[in-house]
Amino acid sequence: MAKYFAEINPSERITEAGNLVPWDGTVLRVIVAESDYINSGRLGNSSNWVECFLDEDGITNSRKKYPGIGDNYNSAADIFYPRQPYPSWTLDENYDWQPPIPMPEERKYETVLRVNDMPLPWLWDESTQSWVNEE
């Protein structure tokens, strides 16, 4: 039965004394294939491929998220996580990117610009290191 697999950048994989060690790598591509095909070596070293899962409803429930090209994989935690959205954001212990300043609470409508009586979303401005909600 075909499964989903993500290829992880092999140049980011480190070995110690010939043994693979935990590593963070970038997802190069995601394909549907049989396990035997991945293990055959036709697509390169099979250890650079990680099975990923997509539920019937399109929501992944294992390995944190379904990977996309450019996402990251951490082999120690055995999870995929998104690429860093901005240089100032840091990765927390749950592999979620956190801004240097928390997003304002949306309940503070008096400070939120509106279009057609709908509040505009807060957007991160890396140059000012602040949240903005401009048109």
Q: What is the pLDDT of residues 37-85, one digit of tens each?
A: 999 999 988 989 999 887 666 565 678 888 999 999 988 888 999 999 9
User: Which pLDDT value is given to residue 89?
Assistant: 93
For the entire predicted model, the pTM comes to: 0.74
User: Which pLDDT value is given to residue 132?
Assistant: 85
Task: Give the pLDDT confidence of 86-123 residue by residue, as tens digits.
Answer: 999 999 999 999 999 998 876 554 545 555 566 667 88
Burial call 3-37: b when 16+ CB within 10 Å, e when fewer = ebbbbbeeeebeeeeeeeeebbbbbeebeebeeeb
Task: Give the pLDDT confidence of 6-42 residue by residue, as tens digits.
Answer: 999 866 555 556 555 556 789 999 999 999 999 999 9
For residue 13, the one-letter residue type is R
Q: What is the 3-state secondary structure (H, E, C) of 24-44?
A: EEEEEEEEEECHHHHHCCCCC
What is residue 134's three-state secondary structure? Answer: coil
Please enumerate in sequence order all residues whose Cβ is within 8 A of that of 36, keeping only pairs 6 or more positions apart, or say none.
Answer: none
CA distance 63 to 76: 11
Please give the DSSP secondary-structure letter assigned to residue 99. Answer: -
